[in-house]
Amino acid sequence: MNETLISACQMFLIPATILFAAVGVANSRGLKLLVCFMGVATTGLWAYRVWYWAGLSLLDRRTALGLAGLYALAWIFTFLIQLKNMFSPGYNRR
């Protein structure tokens, strides 16, 4: 696998993982929603960077896009749940 691609994926993987922990320790609805939005944006930038990377082999591109896509789906799901919880009448309003 391309060493530069590995470094680029780590550059996005580490913040995306740290943001998952930040969702768990956030103590307000707005902060959780903001962290989720930042996670979606980070993985979006990651997928965009890999998609337009010139000179990648097909296998490297698919592997990196698969990893970015996995995180993107997790973040989108988390963001939608937080959005639903913000407007849900039975949600604990802290």
Question: What total of structural domains would you count in the chain?
Answer: 1
Q: Is residue 39, in this structure, part of any structural domain at all?
A: yes
Express each pLDDT in 6-31 by its tens digit.
998 899 989 988 998 999 898 888 89
- How many Cα atoms occupy the beta-carbon half-sphere of 69 within 13 Å? 7
The reported pLDDT for the residue numbered 68 is: 92
Residue stretches of the chain with pLDDT short of 50: none
Six-digit token string for 61: 């591109």
Residue 44 belongs to domain spanning: 3-87
DSSP string, 7-53: HHHHHHHHHHHHHHHHHHH--SHHHHHHHHHHHHHHHHHHHHHHHT-
Evaluate whether residue 92 is within a structural domain.
Answer: no
36 in any annotated domain: yes
Asked, for residue 93, whether it belongs to a domain, the answer is: no
Does any domain span residue 52?
A: yes
Q: Which two tokens stand for residue 51?
A: 């998609």
Q: pLDDT at position 29, please?
A: 85
